[in-house]
Amino acid sequence: MHIIVIGAGPAGLTAAYQLSKNLGIKIQSIKLFEASERVGGMSASLNLWNQTVDLGPHRFFSNDKKVNEFWLEIVGNEYDMINRLTRIYYNGKFFYYPLKAFNALFNLGILEAFQCFFSYLPNKLGLTQNNEDTFEGWVTQRFGKRLFNIFFKTYTEKLWGIPCSELDADFAAQRIKKLSLSEAILNAFNITNKKKHKTLVDEFAYPFKGTGSVYEKLKSLYQENGGQIFLNSPVKKVIVENQNVKGIQLENGEVHLSDVVISSMPLSIMAQHLEQIPQNLLTKVKQLKYRNTILIYLNVPSENVFPDQWIYIHDERLQTGRITNFRNWLPSLYGEEKSSILALEYWCYDQDKIWKQNENELIDLAKKELCLTGLVDKNINIQEGKVIKLKNSYPVYFRNYKEVLEPIQEYLKSIPNLYPIGRYGAYKYNNQDHSILMGLLATENILENANHDLWSVNTDYETYQEKTVITKTGLKMED
């Protein structure tokens, strides 16, 4: 086989590396095409002001044995465990996330806390029923209206740019899953011995040289196996004839032939350039949309700004949605430097004003908003800033998006040698572990005819393996 992989993010690189182990055996050639200048996708790392930073906060955590074994195969012992500290900034106060009982009670006040509880009680008793097709209804049913407004609404609407009543419940089902107010309260008081919900883990594995070092290592191993990689090589379209992939065409007009294409480029871009796609499906493809990310890095001349790895900003006055402090990850990221690099995140669409602002305007905005949070002294002199804009970062789960997406999925399934994977390629709000799993399963489908349903990863997919977690000493079986 001749195989082409589009995109060198977690999904694409995982697949390319796994396939490269069979070069000269089952595979004659593998080519990996990446549109940008670096590998890792949104999980890339970069050097700023003699320090290493990621493209926002990226923690690795999985219960899947296959994924954890793969991650450790690449990282080896070049990682440490980080004790997670994250908080929510709301109404001028900081709430621990996961919640801590007395911190939450003190910040909310006894009266507000009781009002939140009694807002939730009718849902718990089955006296009220919300429309659980939307994010707002799904969360309100499990937490009550008041807590929805405090801890979910503002941040979620910043991220997606649409009202929570227009956001599909799938976002909550994938990210919050079985978490409810009762579980959160038990966790806050540390009176449950049940397995901690995945979003509430207190500790996670992190590489010494940043998240992106995992994918730089994958790139090196892939090339050592004989795989070819082409950076700054955006793909224009996948060539399909008679429902069979024939290869790809690059933006510069070059054509590369292959027997199989694994695509992690945005699904909407890939699908709308398929020459034989029916017109009714093309209309649906054009309804898919992605949210952009703007990362504004500030080099703060202080070693102790705040203790969190990142803070969620639930404040309507501020445009930023999350602030990361890279000094609170591992010392190997900052070395001998005495400053702290903070990253403020903003989310938008192409047509939004903020997407069109220049670097100086955005850096000034970030400085102003950082001071408004009270996290840094307003008199502190922040001289250095850097802006990175990332297109198509988040697939938007607009209400009833599945009615649009599923016919597209069915059509793509009719092209047997085309494998859409990853956050962009499968239109799935994946974490790293989901994308790695997609890459692993895609290679098993290609090499072993395994028949995994890649579209179900990050929804109902179960590996039926023993569940594990990564610790400092390696894999540990879960009880």
Question: 195 and 222: one domain?
Answer: no
Judge contact between 207 and 75, C-beta under 8 A.
yes
In this structure, are 38 and 118 located in the same domain? no
pLDDT of residue 144: 85
Q: Is the pLDDT of residue 141 over 90?
A: no
Total number of domains constituting the chain? 2
Please say whether the beta carbons of 141 and 123 come within 8 A.
yes
Write out the E strands in 164-283: 203-207, 228-230, 235-241, 244-250, 255-257, 260-263
Decide which of 201, 232, 249 is a domain's last residue. 201
Confidence band, pLDDT 50/70/90 cuts, at residue 191 = low
**What pLDDT is attached to residue 122?**
73
Of 180, 201, 222, which closes a domain?
201
In the chain, pLDDT over 90 holds for what percent of residues? 70
Q: How confident is the model at residue 215 (pLDDT cuts 50, 70, 90)?
A: very high
Q: Of 146-150, 208-212, 315-319, 424-428, which range is least confident?
A: 146-150
pLDDT confidence of residue 464:
41
Question: Please, are residues 214 and 226 in contact by the beta-carbon 8 Å criterion?
Answer: no
Point out the least confidently predicted range of 78-92, 122-136, 218-232, 241-255: 122-136
Q: pTM for this structure? A: 0.91
> Distance between CA 258 and CA 236 in Å, rounded?
15
Tens-place pLDDT, residues 412-434: 999 999 999 999 999 999 889 99
- Residue 380, pLDDT score: 87
Residue 206 confidence (pLDDT): 96
Any domain includes 109: yes
Q: Are 277 and 407 found together in one domain? A: yes
Compute the average pLDDT of residues 88-117.
81
Report residue 198's pLDDT band, with 50, 70 and 90 as the boundaries. Answer: very low
CATH number of the domain to which 405 belongs = 3.50.50.60
| Residue 356 CB neighbour total at 10 angstroms | 10
d(CA 225, CA 147): 52
Residue 404 sits in the same domain as residue 284: yes
**Do 216 and 191 fall within a single domain?**
no
Give yes or no: residues 121 and 182 share one domain: yes
Eight-state DSSP code of residue 165 = G
Encode pLDDT of 160-180 as tens digits: 999 999 999 888 776 665 455
User: 124 and 171 share a domain?
Assistant: yes
User: Chain-centre distance of CA 386, in angstroms?
Assistant: 21
230 and 136 in a common domain = no
Task: Specify if 301 maps to a domain.
Answer: no
Helix (H) or strand (E) holding 418: strand 418-420
Q: How confident is the model at residue 338 (pLDDT cuts 50, 70, 90)?
A: very high
Residue ranges making up the domain that contains 159 = 99-201
Instruction: Tell me the CA distances in angstroms from 81 to 58, 77, 126, 173, 329, one per residue in order.
Output: 13, 11, 42, 28, 9
- The CB-based long-range contact list for 306-310 (8 Å cut-off, 24+ gap) reads 306/375, 307/85, 308/85, 308/86, 308/87, 309/57, 309/59, 309/82, 309/84, 309/85, 309/86, 310/57, 310/86
pLDDT exceeds cutoff 80 at 459? no
Span of 23-37, 156-170, 445-459 with lowest mean pLDDT: 445-459
Q: Would residue 321 count as lying in a domain?
A: no
DSSP 40: S
Q: Is residue 336 part of a domain?
A: no
The residue with greater pLDDT, 108 or 417, is: 417
pLDDT at 257: 97
Q: Has residue 470 been placed in a domain?
A: no
Residue 55 vs residues 11, 261, 323, 344, 388: alpha-carbon distances, Å: 17, 27, 12, 10, 8
Residue 302 lies in a domain: no
The confidence score (pLDDT) of residue 226 equals 97
Question: Looking at 201, 220, 238, which one is the last position of a domain?
Answer: 201
Between CA 87 and CA 85 the distance in angstroms is 7
pLDDT of residue 249: 97
* Residue 250, Ramachandran bin (φ over 0: left; ψ between -120 and 50: alpha; else beta): beta
Q: Name the more confident of 372 and 103.
A: 372
Residue 345 in any domain: the answer is: no
Instruction: Determine phi and psi for 37, rounding to 5 degrees.
Output: -90, -5
Question: Is the previous residue joined to 98 through a cis bond, with omega within 30 degrees of 0?
Answer: yes
Q: Which of 10-19, 184-193, 428-437 has the highest mean pLDDT?
A: 10-19
**Spacing of C-alpha 167 from chain mean position:** 17
Sheet holding 255-257, edge to edge: 235-241, 244-250, 255-257
Banded pLDDT at 148 (limits 50, 70, 90): confident
* 239 shares a domain with 165: no
- Give pLDDT, residue 280: 94
Average pLDDT over residues 243-270: 96
Which spans in 286-332 are helix H?
Answer: none
Residues 408 and 270 in one domain: yes
pLDDT at 183 over 70: no
pLDDT at position 117 is 79
Question: What is the spatial distance between Cα 279 and Cα 379, in angstroms, rounded to a whole number?
Answer: 58
Tokens of 30: 């593998």
Look at residue 41 in the predicted model and tell me its pLDDT: 94
Distance CA 459, CA 377 (A): 44
Residue pair 454/426 in contact by the 8 Å Cβ criterion: yes
CA–CA dist 211, 420 (Å, integer): 23
- Please indicate, yes or no, whether residues 130 and 194 belong to a single structural domain of this protein: yes
- Average pLDDT score, the chain: 89
* Residue 142 tokens, joined: 């499990």
- Using a pLDDT cut of 70, give the percent of the chain over it: 89
Higher pLDDT, residue 259 or 182: 259
> Out of 2-6, 59-63, 314-318, 435-439, which region has the weakest mean confidence (pLDDT)?
59-63
Does one domain contain both 132 and 226?
no
Residue 88 located in a structural domain: no
| Three-state secondary structure string covering 351-380 | CCHHHHCCHHHHHHHHHHHHHHHCCCCCCC
